[in-house]
Each structure stands twice: as C-alpha cells, then as structure tokens.
Amino acid sequence: MTGAEPTLDDTGFAAEACDSMSRDQARQLAACLDVDPARFADGTLPPLWHWAYFTSRVPTSALGVDGHPRRRPAMDAFPQRMWVGGRIHTTRPLDLDEDARRVSRIIAAAMKEGGAGEFWLVTVEHTISQQGETRVLEEQDLVFRGAAALTRPGPEADTAPDAQWVEERVPDPVLLFRFSAVTNNAHRIHYDHPYATEVEGYPDLVVHGPLTALSLAEFAHRRSGIDARSISFRARAPLFANRRLWLTGYADADGAVHASAIRADHTEAVTLELS
C-alpha cells in the first residue's frame, strides 16, 4: 500500500495515512529499544509500537526551523511543540505485514494560560484500521507554546526511588538519534545540541516523550507480563540525555500497572497506566 498525499494541519499530522506495517520496521524499533524480536513472534505489534509507523512524508523543504512540518503564520507566536500525553485503546493488535490505514482529526483545541504564558492545548484523534476493522483508537495531547525560560532540573539524588520495581537508565545521544530515525522525527531538540540548548533553552538534548512511554510499557511487560489493551500516559517534566533516570512501577490488586519515569532529581517526569 502506498501512502496518501498528506494534507497537514497545524499539528503536523496527515488527515489520512497508510502503511504496510512491515516486520522489518518492528525489527528496527526492537533494535533501538534493546528488545528481543521474539517480542512480536506471534506476528502482531506490541502496545504502542504503532508509533514507528505512519511516519511523516513531508518534504524537507516544508519543515520549519525546529524540524517539524511548517505551520501557518498565525502559529508563529507558539513555536515550541510538545507531545504531553495521550490515551490508547487497542481492540485487537495490529498484524505485521498487513496494510493499515490511519485517519486523524483534531477533536479539541483551546487556548490556556500557564506559568510561562498562553499556550494551545490540542487533542488529535487517530483511528487505525486493518482489513476494514478498527484496531486502535488513540488521542494525543499536544501543547504549542511560546519561547519561555525553563525550570532547570534540581540536584541529583543519591538514592533510587522507593518502588516495587526499579530500573536505572542513562539515555544517551545515540539512543535519541536512533529513535528519531526509526520514527522519522526531525524535531531538533532530540539530536541538535546547539539548537536544544541555545535556541530552546534546555540543559541538554531532550528525551522523546514517546520513547519514554514505550520504555515504560516494555518495562511493565517484562515485570508483569501484561500486554495492555488500554494505556494512558502523561509527560509532566522533560527528561534529558546523559542524565540518570529510573523506570519504576507496581501492579495493583486489580492487575493494572502503574509506571513512572523518575528524573535524577526525583521529579516524576512521565507517568503511564496500563490495564
């Protein structure tokens, strides 16, 4: 199946996209995440792995200075774009090497007021179908804000967080580059250190929110065996390359899993719930 010509809105998503859901792409993501390809030996995609598909086909000449698809001039006052959360429900796992179709639309857009000024909160709905059957329903929450001073991370803690499950990680620029490549994400905060630090004001390269959510989902799978049908996540604070973090989590009495990525200063950066 060939992809439809993209008609982009201000989120950067095409209204409709098609993908062949190749097994080779799943292998690429598995290599990036250090996951054994036996993870998808049954021929279906694990939860959240569809983020490596339906990737942008926007020409390089149509990208803005930040690496995202260029938006209309009215959005110039809100140049910084962040994926801050979402909800995903899988009615049936996506089959590998089978054509799939994703239909996207904006279902909410509102101007909000925060500590750093006004920002847009936009929710995009994606519906993914295969063989005429809806398989995945997803809502993604995006924030568009103006350039503003950022709160710097606090001092690193000496001890790991107290949790039922804990794993320490240090994401490096190589991991961020590989994830950007496998998801065709050209946002410069993830690979261009001078841009991330001098233009957008971060202390280092920024870890992708979806990379953290995927890491938490795989962490939860290893610890609990769960392959969730319903997942929600929220990005609360940025994570940075070359800095320690912990993946933490626990299963509650009902079998649901609650996971968090904790920064070195013990800030809860990303939360994820699976059931």
pLDDT digits (tens, 9 = 90+) for 74-94: 776 777 788 899 999 999 999
Going 202 to 171 to 53 to 102, the CA torsion angle's sign is: negative
If one counts every other C-beta atom within 10 angstroms of the C-beta of residue 62, the result is: 11
Q: What is the mean pLDDT of residues 1-28?
A: 74
DSSP state letters, 25-86: HHHHHHHHHT--GGGGTTSBPPTTGGGGSS-----GGGB-TTSSBPPPGGGTT--EEEEEEE
Within-domain flag for 112: yes
pLDDT of residue 38: 97
pLDDT of residue 23: 98
pLDDT of residue 183: 96
Within-domain flag for 217: yes
Average pLDDT, the chain: 90
Contact 156, 170 (CB under 8 A): no
**pLDDT band for position 9 (cuts 50, 70, 90):** low
Within-domain flag for 10: no
* Proportion of the chain above pLDDT 90, given as a percent: 71
Q: Considering only CA atoms, which of 150, 147, 84, 148 is closest in space to residue 121?
A: 84
Least confident of 68-72, 74-78, 245-249: 74-78
Look up residue 128 and give its two tokens: 């993914």
Strand pairing category for 245-251 and 100-114: unpaired
Q: Considering only CA atoms, which of 21, 12, 134, 18 is closest in space to residue 72?
A: 12
pLDDT of residue 6: 37
Within-domain flag for 124: yes
CATH assignment of the domain containing 165: 3.10.129.10
pLDDT of residue 8: 44
If one counts the domains in the chain, the total is 1
**pLDDT band for position 3 (cuts 50, 70, 90):** very low
**pLDDT band for position 115 (cuts 50, 70, 90):** low
Look up residue 158 and give its two tokens: 């000496």
Q: Which residue has the tokens 């690429």?
A: 28
**pLDDT band for position 138 (cuts 50, 70, 90):** very high
The residue segments making up the domain with residue 70 are: 16-274
Within-domain flag for 1: no
Q: What is the mean pLDDT of residues 90-118?
A: 90
Q: What is the mean pLDDT of residues 4-24?
A: 74
Q: What is the mean pLDDT of residues 4-17?
A: 62
pLDDT of residue 10: 60
Contact 215, 249 (CB under 8 A): no
Look up residue 67 and give its two tokens: 């690496």
Within-domain flag for 11: no
Within-domain flag for 127: yes
- Tell whether the model's pLDDT for residue 2 goes beyond 60: no
pLDDT of residue 72: 73
**pLDDT band for position 17 (cuts 50, 70, 90):** very high
Within-domain flag for 5: no
Contact 179, 206 (CB under 8 A): no
